[in-house]
Amino acid sequence: MSLLQAILLALWAGFCSFDDQGPQMFRRPLLIGPIAGLILGDLQSALIMSATLELMWMGLGNMAGYVTPDMIIGTIVGVVVTVQTGEGTSDASIAAGVAAATTVAVLVQQLMVIFNNLVKQLFAPWADRLALSGNFDSIMKINIVASLAQFAIRAVPTFLVVYFSTSIVDSALNAIPTNVLNGLSVASGILPAVGLSILMTMMMKGIFWPFLISGFVLATYMGQSVLSVTLFSLFIAIIYDMIMEIKAKQDEMPKVSTVAGVVEEEEYDL
């Protein structure tokens, strides 16, 4: 591995890291691996290795809020190991690549837990502060800093791993006890409550409480998906709108409403 190749691989990992959260055009092993193969000068092995990883990690993806084994660095390291160990493309070199890829993917996953759950949390209060300026463009600062951080978080470890060895990342992560990492994941699972509660301050009115609870009960107690809760809520919303419309009409025409009121009262008297 020459220094130039290591730097190119690191740049590619950094770009893919940015891409994974932004444009989302290269976020799969089969799209990441072949470019790493071109850098190393062995496209054939890279293609087979990437296809293996693509099938292995099919259905794995960064769903909102969850951090999965890191496919980006995993793929790049897997390709590097396959190319370095393989005479042509033997089953043994693919196996070595897969082993390296899964190991590094899990190691980097822990790094991403820290990055996502601790470092990136700073963006929320920063954005709140910038919002008070009333300057629409000011938030672009966060995007630039975040993009650079996102680039570095995978470029630096990739360089260290491919140029030196995996032991560096390993020992760096060993410095942080796993129970702290797990604790951090648990704690950041609570944080969506903050965002949702802010949203509530913008939407909630007194009469809405039973409806909020109904949505909650449908989703948890009755195990309905968000989509089915939405369909149900549309039905309630249309009825609510009808009632509000009738109410508005009554307010507009006091004559009619009093007549209706009298009629109603008479009915109740019976």
250 interacts with other proteins by CB under 8 A: no
SS (H, E, C) 118-146: HHHHHHHHHHHHHHCCCCHHHHHHHHHHH
Residue choice 99, 129, 164, 167 for contact with other proteins (CB under 8 A): 129
Question: What's the angle, vertex CA 223, arms to CA 221 and CA 224, rounded to 5?
Answer: 120
Residue choice 1, 237, 262, 263 for contact with other proteins (CB under 8 A): 237
Residue choice 7, 11, 31, 173 for contact with other proteins (CB under 8 A): 31
263 interacts with other proteins by CB under 8 A: no
Per-position x/- string for 64-93, each x denoting binding to other proteins as judged by CB under 8 A, each - no binding:
xx-----------------------x----
Question: Do the beta carbons of residue 163 and residue 11 sit within 8 Å?
Answer: no
Amino acid present at 38: L
What residues between 162 and 201 interact with other proteins by CB under 8 A? 179-180, 182-184, 186-201
Question: Do the beta carbons of residue 188 and residue 117 sit within 8 Å?
Answer: yes
Nearer to other proteins, 3 or 125 (CB): 125
Q: Show Cβ contacts of residue 267 under 8 Å, excluding neighbours closer than 6 positions.
A: none
Nearer to other proteins, 124 or 160 (CB): 124
What residues between 199 and 218 interact with other proteins by CB under 8 A? 199-204, 208, 211-218
128 interacts with other proteins by CB under 8 A: yes
Greatest Cα-to-Cα distance within the chain, rounded to the nearest angstrom: 97
Q: Where are the alpha helices (DSSP H) in 22-90?
A: 29-40, 43-56, 71-85
41 interacts with other proteins by CB under 8 A: no
Question: Shortest gap between Cβ of 10 and other proteins (angstroms)?
Answer: 19
Question: Shortest gap between Cβ of 263 and other proteins (angstroms)?
Answer: 26
Question: Do the beta carbons of residue 168 and residue 108 sit within 8 Å?
Answer: no
Nearer to other proteins, 7 or 149 (CB): 149
142 interacts with other proteins by CB under 8 A: yes
Cβ neighbours, 10 Å, residue 70: 27
Give the interface segment with other proteins, choosing from 72-80, 137-145, 162-170, 256-264 (CB under 8 A).
137-145
109 interacts with other proteins by CB under 8 A: no
How far apart CA 234 and CA 237 sit, in angstroms, is 5
Angle between helices 91-114 and 166-174 (to 10 degrees): 30
Residue choice 135, 165, 167, 258 for contact with other proteins (CB under 8 A): 135
